Amino acid sequence: MLIAVVGPTATGKSALGVALARALDPPGEVVNADAFQLYRGMDIGTAKVTAAERGEVPHHQIDVLDVAEDASVAHFQTAARTDVADIESRGRRAILVGGSGLYVRSVLDRIEFPGTDPKIRGALEARAEAEGARRLHDELTRRDPVAAANIGPGNVKRTVRALEVIELTGRPFSATLPVPEYVRPTVQIGLDCSRAVLDARVEARVAKMWEQGLVAEVAALADHGMGRTAARAVGYAEVLEMLVGRCTEAVAREAVVVHTRRLARKQMGWFGRDPRIVWLDADAPDLVAQALDVVARAERGELDLPDASRPTRRTLGS
């Protein structure tokens, strides 16, 4: 059974993943599902596990991209699933750990990522510019009413992508959307805590990042040349603004705190809709024991979880 540790940033997912890997029999190996930990050199701002921890517990999908490259969830899906299969072929346990929702689901669930065609996309974007977004959305409504109902008329980017996929595959765009259906036996453990506790954790984490040298790390990466994806990461985007003189260091640091808190709420919105997740209190003193118990009960078929086709919404601290 594949184990996944998910939830908002700053709840201790990485630490729990390492602890589970050590405690399981047979022992486990971690597959990273944080989109920005894929990048070499983005260490402090992504709170990567230490080199010592990686030496004790093997980690996969960490430091696999240069910061000039753009991450691809489709490529990640293939690579991470290959890692899981390889770990299990060696008689060890695979533990997927991360807070990037689509990256997590790309490994766990039935989901496909159609390719792209610059010519088709360019033609659709030109039409949107010439004819207006509403006309393009009306076409999507005729060709895939399910997709159109979930994409607002003003969302030109998603409308163009939906029509591009229809042209490429000859199938409705809605047929390629994620389905909450595991591709293999899986148990998801979510870490949560009250909003006040999480806000304090975020502030402490940002203070630690500054002490560890986040500004110097970002400056070195900026000199190397950062691509669009890496440069958008929370913690990096704000410091980059500071380095080009658009704000002071104090303003940048406060912005990292604010944006990290906002990211945590967004992540909780994503994971909170998945009723298959078993939520645990991130501050529980016996957290590792609780997580091991969840895994054991899942393997015995004793977890009584809601129907995944009827998603509920969980909020932070609930």
Residue 89 among known ligand-binding residues? no
Residue 132, annotated ligand binder?
no
| pTM of the predicted protein model | 0.88
309 pLDDT band, cuts 50/70/90, is low
Is 14 within any annotated ligand binding site? yes
> Does any domain span residue 251?
yes
82 is annotated as contributing to ligand binding = no
Per the annotation, does 7 bind a ligand?
yes
> Do 191 and 165 share a structural domain?
no
Q: Which CATH number characterizes residue 162's domain?
A: 1.10.20.140
Among 189, 201, 195, 188, which residue's Cα sits nearest to residue 317?
195
Does 12 carry a binding-site annotation?
A: yes
Q: Which domain holds residue 142?
A: 118-177
Same domain? 156 vs 288: no
Tokens of 59: 């980690």
Per-residue pLDDT tens over the stretch 133-158: 999 999 999 999 999 998 989 999 89
- Residue 33 contacts residue 61 (beta carbons within 8 Å): yes
Sequence-distant (≥ 6) Cβ neighbours of residue 252 within 8 angstroms: 238, 239, 241, 242
Task: Please indicate, yes or no, if residue 308 is contained in any of the structural domains.
Answer: no
CB 228, CB 217: distance < 8 Å: no
Write down the pLDDT at residue 175.
86
Say yes or no to pLDDT of 65 above 80.
yes
Residue 280 pLDDT > 70: yes
Is the same domain home to 146 and 236? Answer: no
Alpha carbon distance 232, 164 (integer Å) = 25
9 has binding-site annotation:
yes
End-to-end CA distance of the chain: 27
- Tokens 């500054």 -> residue: 210
Tokens of 94: 């695979």
Tokens describing residue 132: 């207006």
Residue 15's closest CA among 45, 56, 76?
A: 56
Q: How far apart are CA 261 and CA 10, in angstroms?
A: 9
CATH code, domain with 283: 3.40.50.300
Percentage with pLDDT > 70 across the chain = 97
Q: Is 26 annotated as a binding residue?
A: no
